[in-house]
Every structure is written in C-alpha cells, then in structure tokens.
Amino acid sequence: MTFRKYLVLAGVTVFAAAGDSMLSHGMKQTGNISLQHLPGVILAVLNPWVAVGIVLLLAFFASYMNALSWADLTYVLPATSLGYVLLALVAKFALHEQVSPLRWLGIALISGGVGFVAGGPALTSHEHFESPPCDAAQGKLVGKNASNGAPAEDDAPTISSGAQR
C-alpha cells in the first residue's frame, strides 16, 4: 500500500474523530434541539463548533469515499475504527468526559481487531471481464490482429446517418 493510501486512511480517522468531537462540543453549548422546531436546528448549525464539525465530517465522507474507491469495505471500515481510540482520547482529555474502564476495554478489543484486518489484503482480487476497446466516433470495435499483433478493426458495417456506398 502506498503512502497516499495510508494518508487517506489517516484522514478518514482524524476527520471523523475531530468532526464528532467538534459537533459534540457545539451541541453541548446549544442544548436540546428538536426537528419539529426548525429555528433551533438552524441556530445549532450556525454555532461555530457545530459548523466546523460538519465541515470536518464532510472531509471524512470525501476521504471515506476515496478509500472505498480502491479498497474493500471490509478493509476500510475496520481501519477507520481506529478513530474510536482517537475519539476516546479526545473525549477524555479535551472534552473532560468520563471514559469507563469497560469502554477502554472495548476500544482495546477494537484496536486488536483492526490489527487482524490490517494484516490481510486491502482489495479482494476479482476476475473482471474486460470489454474490447471501441472507437466511439466510428462505432467499431478495435482489437489486435491475431496473426501479427497489429491493431485491427472489426469489419462489420457501421450505422451512420449518411447514405451508404
């Protein structure tokens, strides 16, 4: 796996933990909201901590989509669960929340599971059927001549809007 891919997974982890932390801090300042009271929801979104949390969670989502474009879900999702460790540390030391020993044990189990997943391949190999290349402008299949390896075009007639000769 390349450095860029490790960076994307780190981004997923950091953006999720930071976004959730900012959102939590902002919502504690805002107080209870209800979807039936729309002005309260709008005021909550306008809270700077909530707004930054939303932006960070959007960055998480973009990074997550990027990771899923080159790796299996069964690899990406457990790898991103390292964010639980980071989130627990932020909750304990920055948000001053109480994290019980049972939660720390759960986080340790999650981290151990991530270790097992990280040892496997990021992408399950699949056999893909590749369709032959096509010259879209001419509507012809383009392939290789079996006898000499030179490019060959399908001799099938093409449909055009003009008159045939």
The average pLDDT across 12-26 equals 94
Q: Are strands 134-135 and 151-153 parallel, antiparallel or unpaired?
A: unpaired
Percent of the chain with pLDDT over 70: 75
pLDDT at residue 85 in the model = 86
Output DSSP code: residue 4. H
Read off the pLDDT of residues 66-113 as tens digits, 9 standing for 90 and up.
Answer: 999 999 888 888 878 888 888 899 999 998 999 999 999 988 888 888
| pLDDT tens-digit series, residues 101-147 | 999 998 888 888 877 776 777 777 655 545 555 555 555 555 555 44
Model pLDDT, residue 120: 72
Q: Residue 78 in contact with residue 114, Cβ under 8 Å?
A: yes
For residues 51 and 33, give the distance between their C-alpha atoms in angstroms, rounded to a whole number.
Answer: 15
- Two structure tokens written together for 138: 């001419």
Distance in angstroms (rounded) separating the CA atoms of residues 148 and 135:
21
The predicted structure's pLDDT at residue 154: 47
Please return the burial class of 18, using the count of CB atoms within 10 Å of its CB with bins 0-12, 13-18 and 19+: buried
> Which tokens hold the place of 1?
């796996």
Kindly report, residue by residue over 7-18, the tens digit of the pLDDT: 999 999 999 999
Q: Alpha-carbon distance 79 to 70, whole Å?
A: 14
Residue 153: phi, psi to the nearest 5?
Answer: -110, 145
The span from the CA of 121 to the CA of 143, in Å, is: 33
